[in-house]
Amino acid sequence: MSIKALRGAVQLTADDRSEMLEAVKDLLQQMMERNNLAVSDLISVFFTSTPDLVSEFPAVAARELGMGEVPLMCSVEIDVTGALPRVVRVMMHANSPLATSEIKHIYIRGAEVLRRDLAQ
């Protein structure tokens, strides 16, 4: 088993706390399910959100999914002109027996355009 990094992103329709929590939970659950991960496999999760999302920390959604003992960190994404708005990005580090080529990176709800090469 080795450490793998998994990427994911989700776009929200509005800066709304309940949508933030629901969308990030959906993203995290898909990342874990599609890569056969349990919370005990997680090493850390790093979140970024675009500067237009201020209603809640994405890490709150992870805590609500039972990731309270996993180190979580949030940061603001670089404010690039013309960038896709209302996006939460995730970098998850986990212990996994999967080969790097087998890792499924998850981009949902409009965020697929960020990485068409990786989006499922």
Can you give the residue ranges of every domain in the chain?
A: 2-114
**CATH no. of 2-114:** 3.30.1330.40
Q: Is the pLDDT of residue 1 over 60?
A: yes
pTM: 0.93
Q: Which amino acid is at 66?
A: G
Q: Is the pLDDT of residue 4 over 80?
A: yes
Which pLDDT score, from 0 to 100, does residue 114 have? 84
Which pLDDT score, from 0 to 100, does residue 45 have? 98
pLDDT digits (tens, 9 = 90+) for 15-70: 999 999 999 999 999 999 999 999 999 999 999 999 999 999 999 999 999 999 99
pLDDT digits (tens, 9 = 90+) for 67-110: 999 999 999 999 999 999 999 999 999 999 999 999 999 999 88
Q: How confident is the model at residue 120 (pLDDT cuts 50, 70, 90)?
A: low
Buried b (16+ CB within 10 A) or exposed e, 96-119: bebeeeebbbbbbbbbbebeeeeb
Known catalytic residues? Answer: 7, 63, 74, 77, 89, 107, 115
Pairing of strands 106-108, 2-11: parallel
